[in-house]
Amino acid sequence: MAKIAVVTDSNAGITQNDAKNLGISVIPMPFMFGDSDETYYEDINLTREEFFQRLGDGQVVHSSQPSPVEVLKVWDKLLEDGYDEIVHIPMSSGLSGSCQSAMMLSSDYDGRVQVVNNQRISVTQKRSAQDALELAAKGWSAKQIKDKLEEVKFDSSIYIMLNTLVYLKRGGRITPAAAAIGSLLKLKPVLQIKGEKLDAFSKARTVQQGKNTMITAMKNDIEKLYGGIANDPVYLYAVHAQCQDEFNVWKQEVIAAFPNIHVEEGQLSLSISCHTGPGALAIACSRKLEELR
């Protein structure tokens, strides 16, 4: 049986500590603030607290993809350490060029490095990395794992309610979403990540309405797309961006809404948080693989 390593990036929300425990290699995402050239690496020399501190101070955040040198270093080290193949799961190709670059780099490895383009981010990306590990343990090859994960790429949903539109506007990057919620009224937009797009899904006037919207949307997805709530078909996550107190309430509400499903918690990755700002609440799910049930 081939020895397979799983690599992802810090968008998966896996800390360096967790990575060691899980047996996954996590490449940190680089961030820059304002006009400064200094580069910070998520969870290496940039903590979540520092990140949100700078974001709150009004500093403009630039995120970037990992440098090819860093990616190659990780791969080469793993292969030297005795792994036969690598499954590399970068953040969604719809949100970053990381995937494109990694695919290009992998072409020199004769198929030993398989880059998965399954358009995941945050907790659903983390789940993909965990699925890859479990499939590898069952004896799947890197190529088989890549194909499987890409086959089920649409089997996940994320809904995010923003507390404010400030950061979305500041980033200027998610224009369709911003345009769709250009209203006279004060609104809390609810965004959706499905496949490669982060876009407007709905809107709410109050936090409670926004939460109801997310729960309704998630129930609809699970019932209509993922096989019905009664069958416990998904991994379900309650997620937030730097708002622990609100999150504690939110998590209980998610648990109450989905009594049959185990609810895990997570935090929005920094690459998403720089667009949502602090105070965003989210719900996410990733369908369980038939092969791993």
Which residues of the chain form contacts with other proteins (CB under 8 A)? 182-187, 192, 201-209, 212-213, 216-217, 220
Q: What secondary structure letter does DSSP report for 112?
A: S
Helix axes 244-257, 207-224, angle to 10 degrees: 40
Torsional sign, CA 30, 101, 154, 262: negative
CB of 264 to other proteins, least distance (A): 25
CB of 205 to other proteins, least distance (A): 6
What gap in Å lies between CA 156 and CA 178, rounded to an integer?
23
> Which residues have a Cβ under 8 Å from the Cβ of 71 and sit 6 or more positions away?
27, 88, 101, 102, 105
Q: What secondary structure letter does DSSP report for 67?
A: P
CB of 281 to other proteins, least distance (A): 14
Query: 261 and 140 in contact (C-beta within 8 Å)?
Result: no
What gap in Å lies between CA 127 and CA 131, rounded to an integer?
6
Query: 121 and 269 in contact (C-beta within 8 Å)?
Result: yes
Q: Which is nearer to other proteins, 89 or 165 (CB)?
A: 165
CB of 224 to other proteins, least distance (A): 8
Determine which helix (DSSP H) or strand (DSSP E) holds 89, and give its type and residue range: strand 85-89
CB of 84 to other proteins, least distance (A): 43
CB of 201 to other proteins, least distance (A): 7
- Give the rounded distance of the alpha carbon of 103 from its chain centre: 19
Q: Which is nearer to other proteins, 202 or 267 (CB)?
A: 202
Q: Which is nearer to other proteins, 137 or 249 (CB)?
A: 249
> Which residues have a Cβ under 8 Å from the Cβ of 248 and sit 6 or more positions away?
none
Q: Which is nearer to other proteins, 67 or 248 (CB)?
A: 248
Structure tokens at 5: 């390593």
Q: Which is nearer to other proteins, 175 or 206 (CB)?
A: 206
Q: Which is nearer to other proteins, 147 or 223 (CB)?
A: 223
Single-letter amino acid, residue 78 = L
Phi, psi of 285 (to 5 degrees): -145, 155
Q: Which is nearer to other proteins, 22 or 217 (CB)?
A: 217
CB of 212 to other proteins, least distance (A): 7
